[in-house]
Amino acid sequence: MASNIVATGNTKADIRIRAKKIYTLQPGVPAQRSLAIVGQHIFSISAAKMTWIT
């Protein structure tokens, strides 16, 4: 997963907001619970690919 880390000029707050929006679009996957499961790391879900944001 480390190879999927992406650089971004956005603040963590902005990224966190977008991550929550992404999670809310996933059926049966609450945002807060998803973030907790991955150890507070935020990642975006695109198809079957997971990309770490922070």
Q: What is the CA radius of gyration of the chain?
A: 11
Indicate the domain borders of the chain.
Answer: 2-52
Distance, in Å, from the CA atom of 31 to the CA atom of 6, rounded to the nearest integer, reads: 21
State how far the Cα of 29 lies from the Cα of 15, in Å rounded to an integer: 18
Q: Can you tell me the mean pLDDT for 29-48?
A: 49
End-to-end CA distance of the chain: 12
Q: How crowded is residue 20: how many other Cβ atoms within 10 Å of its Cβ? A: 16
Tens digit of each residue's pLDDT (9 = 90 or more) over 14-32: 555 565 555 544 555 544 4
Count the helix, strand and coil residues of the chain and give each as a percent rounded to the nearest 5: 45, 15, 45
27 is written with which tokens? Answer: 């059926």
Q: Is the pTM for the entire model greater than 0.85?
A: no
Is it the case that residue 35 has pLDDT exceeding 50? no
